[in-house]
Amino acid sequence: MPRPTASLDGAWTAIVTPFTPDGTGVDVDRLRQQVAFQLDGGVRGIVPCGTTGEAPTLSEVEQDLVISTSVECACGTGCLVVAGAGSNATAHALHRQRRAKELGADGGLQVSPYYNKPSQEGLYRHFMTVADGCDLPIVLYNIPGRCAVTMTPDTVERLARHPNIVAIKEATGSMDSASEIRRRCGITILSGDDSLTLSFAAVGATGVVSVVSNLMPRAIADLCDGCARNDFAAARQVHESIFPLSRGLLSLDTNPAPLKAAMALLGRDSGALRLPMHPVDPTLIPRIQSLLVESGLMSANTGGPGRRTVIEAVQAKGAMA
């Protein structure tokens, strides 16, 4: 079975799941608007139902709804959809991979099994079982900070021999790991950290699964385009312009809490989260606003259309169940 011909290079957005203000439902209209914003920004693809999309708090029905809506919005645009489909139970990960295919996704993002903390052989057999059981392309997701286990370059090299395993989102923060993966095999490497996209490109990565592109997709697309052209001067200029936001915003609290606060300040999301995720502390709102102003996303003369909503939500400790 040949690898898919569609390129997974470039800017990908780990898109948020917009909730209704009370947090009890998915705001489908808002999701369509957010996907349209990404399409207008020129990203290569979107990744619904990932960590940024709060997938662990979504029901199976809601996951299907988010994926199918994303696929519907992207259909015919050239934008691809790689749906979060991972689980810490191999049988369930295979089920979600098959469901992603049925819903029309172009691939599935498969995270390392969290909490179980499997051995490298366990990781290998987990991903191989999913790859053997469904012919939808797999993007591996290596994020030890969330999973308590690191997929080693040796394991990635073994997995990359499978025709259905086509890329890896490398969120280890390790240049050495990315370099070793590139040295060992031809799998597509996507940075899993916005602040490291340019650095990873220098050692062979060809794109990013971005959080910040929820706010500024055009800039992230331009950064990846500059890297692809080997115009690192242009890419560095974009990198420097977005670095305060990409580094500063996501260091304030656990993703996606600060991101959703920023999107609410811009009037682009309700800001609602689901437990155990909780809104940012109210004292962080001015800092988030300053980062948006510094990045040119908000005027210094306004608090933004959603500012009062966000402050009220965090003051009320309004994490939505």
Catalytic residue positions?
141, 169
CA atoms within 13 A on the CB side of 113: 22
Distance CA 188, CA 138 (A): 11
Which amino acid makes up residue 293? V
Alpha carbon distances (Å) from 206 to 173, 238, 311, 312: 15, 16, 38, 41
Collapsing DSSP to helix, strand or coil, 34 comes out as: helix
In 3D, which of 93, 70, 72, 90 has the Cα closest to residue 82? Answer: 70
Report the distance separating Cα 242 and Cα 134, nearest Å: 38
Torsion of CA 113, 118, 123, 129, to 10 degrees: -70
Torsion of CA 75, 38, 193, 262, to 10 degrees: -140
For 244, the enclosing helix (H) or strand (E) is helix 232-248
